[in-house]
Amino acid sequence: MSGRYSLLNNVYFLGGFATMGGMLFGFDISSMSGVVGTSRYQEYFGHPSSSLQGGIVASMAAGSFLGALMAGPLGDKISRKRTIMLAALIWIVGSIIQCVSVNTNMLIVGRIINGVAVGLASMIVPVYQAEIAPKEIRGRIVSLQQWAITWGILIQYFIQYGCSYIDSDAAFRIPWGIQVVPGLILLAGTTLFPYSPRWLADQGRFDEALQVLANLRANGNKNDPEVQAEFKEIQDVINFDRNLAARSYGELFRHPNAKRVFLGMTLQSWSQLTGMNVAMYYIVFIFQGAGITGQDANLQASSIQYVLNVLMTIPAIMFIDRWGRRPVLLVGSMFMALWLFLIGGLMGRYGSATIFDGNSITTWAIKDNDHASKAVIACSYLFVCSFAISWGPVSWTYPAEIYPLRIRSKAVSLSTASNWAFNFILAYAVPPALENIQYRTYFIFAGFCVAMTIHVFLMFPETKGRTLEEMEELFNSDVAAWKTRTLNTSKRDIEQEKAEVELK
């Protein structure tokens, strides 16, 4: 690769383009949420019961769980870059099958294949981003993953909205077919990307690693002090790793790695237990419960939620490296708990048992109380805003940055698989929950938000402003998590190394 400046040497461009893998996830969320309540979808697939509809939605998460587990060894073996390309190819196949589905079985198969692609991409893209980004903007770069997800949700939603006026099964086939386009763009674009410099170094390809790092940091200047200092840090870690035993999944669960693996897995699990993705999948039913009826009114109310999701992710991208990870997580979960308690309380106080034609899922709704309905909708919007500015971006950033290179790919795959495992469980369980325990469902998720607040406060160290190689000292220290913001990880003094390079 030439040392001349180009977009392919720009970390923002590379990190931003790679997040099209996250956009696939957003496309999938909207590809179901926009149609599950429409008459065309309901009639063509025989008015799926709440359990069958839960299975259709959850099938994607089941595939994603498998894809995330596959991505760990693939990321190490064939590279981060090629794993992203494989995800794009699998996504194209799954989208075609979903588009031509003639029954629920075929639809589920297509969604499982799509899920494998999403699992691969959602795991490997943050790892690639974290490994190419300098520490000062690593949070910002990895946060672009969440922003891409929100854009995918929004774009596909408006495609769904426009197609909802088509008086045939094209109303859902066109949106599902259009999903092929981002897959093709991702596949073609990633072929031009550089390999991760840390993956190259881990393969013993140090000359290539140094050149890629120089292109990313100093316009191709391999003698730049900053480049030399970071490269030496990477070399030190890899040389240390080579003195250890052969790599295996077993070492993920032994000291000193077990604590970090547990934190990554629980963080991704908690991000699902906020209820955010459930809200996105089943937003139609949630607003029906709030008393909004009629396709146009419901879809328009939903669109506001999706736009807010995009807009409120922007402050997190801009300031996550200034605010830090811990404060963002703590404030976000506290506010999400508040809005969920209010939604459940308002629904319980002003709602009543009800029956909607062609919809067995929404069995509790607010009727004839315009103020209560608006309050529920407002709380729903505020809940989305609270997630978008906090847990949305940080839940991808934190796991991608806390592991040593030796186990990073495998450990992040377990973290991401935990996300998809809970996504599957919740996507399958929520329709019956809305049908049977109704508004009490919101109290359950509010309780989860309270629990995650306590967990983050007690267990999650602050990681902002540290290199990936400095995480070893941070997590092996005995300092309490709430005191790590000011902890000085000076085991490898980059400024000193830069000075030594300059003297040479």
Residue-level pLDDT at 496: 58
Q: Does residue 504 surpass a pLDDT of 60?
A: no
Which region holds residue 480: left if phi is over 0, alpha if psi is between -120 and 50, else beta? Answer: beta
Buried b (16+ CB within 10 A) or exposed e, 320-359: bbebbbbebbbebbebbbbbbbbbbbbbeebbeeeeeeeb
Q: Does residue 363 surpass a pLDDT of 50?
A: yes
Q: Considering only CA atoms, which of 404, 385, 400 is closest in space to residue 18?
A: 400
Residue-level pLDDT at 491: 47
In a domain, 241, yes or no: no
How many other β-carbons are positioned within 10 Å of the β-carbon of residue 488? Answer: 6
In a domain, 238, yes or no: no
The number of helix segments (H) and strand segments (E) in the chain equals: 24, 2
Rounded mean pLDDT, 346-366: 73
Residue-level pLDDT at 183: 93
Q: Does residue 161 surpass a pLDDT of 50?
A: yes
Read off the pLDDT of residues 409-442 as tens digits, 9 standing for 90 and up: 899 999 999 998 998 888 778 777 877 788 888 8
Rounded mean pLDDT, 481-495: 66
CATH of the domain at 155: 1.20.1250.20
pLDDT grade, residue 266 (50/70/90)?
very high
Rounded mean pLDDT, 366-374: 81
Read off the pLDDT of residues 166-199 as tens digits, 9 standing for 90 and up: 888 888 899 899 999 999 999 999 999 999 999 9
Task: Say which residue, 503 or 278, is predicted with more confidence.
Answer: 278
Cα distances (angstroms) measured from residue 410 to each of 66, 118, 374: 13, 17, 45
* Omega within 30 of 0 (cis) for the link into 256: yes
Task: Say which residue, 285 or 114, is predicted with more confidence.
Answer: 114
pLDDT grade, residue 364 (50/70/90)?
confident
Task: Say which residue, 230 or 240, is predicted with more confidence.
Answer: 230
* Alpha helices by DSSP H, 242-323: 258-273, 276-281, 283-289, 295-311, 313-323
Residue-level pLDDT at 2: 45
H or E segment to which residue 482 belongs:
none
In a domain, 216, yes or no: no
pLDDT grade, residue 63 (50/70/90)?
very high
pLDDT grade, residue 360 (50/70/90)?
low
Cα distances (angstroms) measured from residue 404 to each of 30, 408, 438, 467, 476: 35, 6, 44, 11, 12
Number of domains in the chain: 1
Which region holds residue 359: left if phi is over 0, alpha if psi is between -120 and 50, else beta? Answer: beta
Query: Looking at 100-109, 333-342, 343-352, 454-463, which range is the least confident one?
Result: 343-352
Q: Does residue 475 surpass a pLDDT of 60?
A: yes
In a domain, 439, yes or no: yes
CA 192 – CA 248 distance, rounded (Å): 31
H or E segment to which residue 366 belongs:
strand 364-366
Q: Does residue 501 surpass a pLDDT of 60?
A: no
In a domain, 244, yes or no: no
pLDDT grade, residue 503 (50/70/90)?
low
> Vertex 348, ends 345 and 353: CA angle to 5°?
160
46-50, 314-318, 347-351, 403-407, range with greatest mean pLDDT: 314-318
Which residues constitute the domain of residue 136?
7-194+258-465
Amino acid at 274: T
Residue-level pLDDT at 1: 42
In a domain, 289, yes or no: yes
Residue-level pLDDT at 37: 66
In a domain, 324, yes or no: yes
In a domain, 240, yes or no: no
pTM above 0.75, yes or no: yes
Residue-level pLDDT at 385: 94
CA 87 – CA 71 distance, rounded (Å): 9
CA 107 – CA 110 distance, rounded (Å): 5
Q: Coil, strand, or helix at residue 103?
A: coil
Asked if 347 and 442 count as a contact pair (C-beta separation under 8 A), the reply is yes
Rounded mean pLDDT, 371-388: 89
